[in-house]
Amino acid sequence: MKIKENYSLQELNTFKIDVKSKYFIEIENESDLKEIVKEYKSKGEKILLLGGGSNILFTKDFDGLVVHLITKGIDIVSQDDDSVLIDCKAGEEWDEVVQFAVNNEYYGIENLSLIPGTIGAAPIQNIGAYGAELKDVFYSLDGFYTADLVEKSFSLGESEFGYRDSIFKSELKDKFIITSVKLRLSKEKNFKLNYRDLADLNKLRKNITIKKVRDHIIKVRESKLPNPKVIGNAGSFYKNPEISAKQLTNLIDQNPDLPYFKSPDRKIKLPAGWLIEQCGWKGKREGDVASYHRQALIIINYGNATSQSILNFTQEIKDSVISKFGIELETEVNFY
Ligand code: FAD
Ligand code: EPU
Please provide the average confidence, as pLDDT, over all residues in the chain.
Answer: 96
User: 205 C-alpha to center of ligand 1: Å?
Assistant: 33
What is the value of pTM for the model shown?
Answer: 0.97
User: Any catalytic annotation for residue 21?
Assistant: no
Please tell me the predicted confidence (pLDDT) of residue 233. 98
CB burial of residue 120 (10 Å; 0-12, 13-18, 19+) = buried
CB 299 within 8 A of CB 292: yes
**Is 93 a known active-site residue?**
no
* Residue 196 falls in the annotated catalytic set: no
Please give the number of the atom of ligand 1 that sits closest to the Cα of 129: 28
The answer on pLDDT for 19 being more than 90 is yes
Q: What is the pLDDT of residue 205?
A: 73
pLDDT of residue 266: 77
**Percentage, residues of the chain above pLDDT 90:** 93
Pick the range with the lowest mean pLDDT from 35-49, 126-140, 199-213, 273-287. 199-213
**What confidence tens digit (pLDDT) does each residue in 33-74 have?**
999 999 999 999 999 999 999 999 999 999 999 999 999 999
Counting ligands in written order, the one closest to the CA of 131 is: 2
- pLDDT-derived band at 288, boundaries 50, 70, 90: very high
How many Å apart are CA 115 and CA 129, to the nearest integer? 8
When the candidates are 3.40.50.970, 3.30.43.10, 3.40.50.1110, 3.30.565.10, the CATH number that belongs to 4-69 is 3.30.43.10
Testing ligand 2's pocket by substitution, the residue of 236, 267, 276, 333 carrying the most ligand atoms inside 8 A of its CB is 236
Residue 212 is predicted with a pLDDT of 95
Residue of 234, 241, 255, 250 whose CA lies nearest to 301: 234
Mean pLDDT of 262-269: 82
Catalytic pick among 21, 166, 236, 291: 236
For ligand 2, is residue 259 a contact (CB within 6 Å)? yes
What is the DSSP-derived secondary structure letter of residue 252? Answer: H
User: How many angstroms does the Cα of residue 235 sit away from the middle of ligand 1?
Assistant: 9
Query: Which ligand is nearest the CA of 274, by number?
Result: 2
Give the per-residue pLDDT at 185: 98
Rounded to 5 degrees, φ, ψ at 325 are -120, -10
Least confident of 23-27, 77-81, 259-263, 313-317: 259-263
Least confident of 143-157, 242-256, 321-335: 242-256
User: Looking at the predicted structure, is the pLDDT value of residue 1 above 90?
Assistant: no
* Dist CA 32 CA 27 (whole Å): 7
pLDDT for 267: 83
From 196, 268, 279, 295, the mutation candidate for ligand 2 (largest count of ligand atoms within 8 A of CB) is 295
107-126: pLDDT as tens digits: 999 999 999 999 999 999 99
CA nearest to 55, candidates 232, 235, 225 = 235
Q: What's the CATH number for 230-335?
A: 3.90.78.10
| 130 pocket-lining for ligand 2 (C-beta < 6 Å) | yes
pLDDT band for position 188 (cuts 50, 70, 90): very high
Residue whose CB lies within 8 A of the most ligand 1 atoms, among 15, 55, 68, 71, for a mutation test: 55
- 206 has a pLDDT exceeding 90: no
How many whole angstroms from 129 Cα to the centroid of ligand 1?
A: 13
Q: How far apart are CA 331 and CA 308, in angstroms?
A: 15
- DSSP letter string, 172-218: TTTTEEEEEEEEEEESS------SGGGHHHHTTGGG--HHHHHHHHH
Domain boundaries, the chain: 4-69, 74-223, 230-335
**56, 232 Cβ separation under 8 angstroms:** no
Q: What is the DSSP letter of 165?
A: B
CATH of domain 74-223: 3.30.465.10
Say what the pLDDT of residue 263 is: 76
Residue pLDDT, tens place only, 64-107: 999 999 999 999 999 999 999 999 999 999 999 999 999 999 99
Ligand number nearest to the C-alpha of 15: 1
Ligand 1, atom 43, lies closest to the CA of 116
The answer to whether residue 219 scores a pLDDT higher than 80 is yes
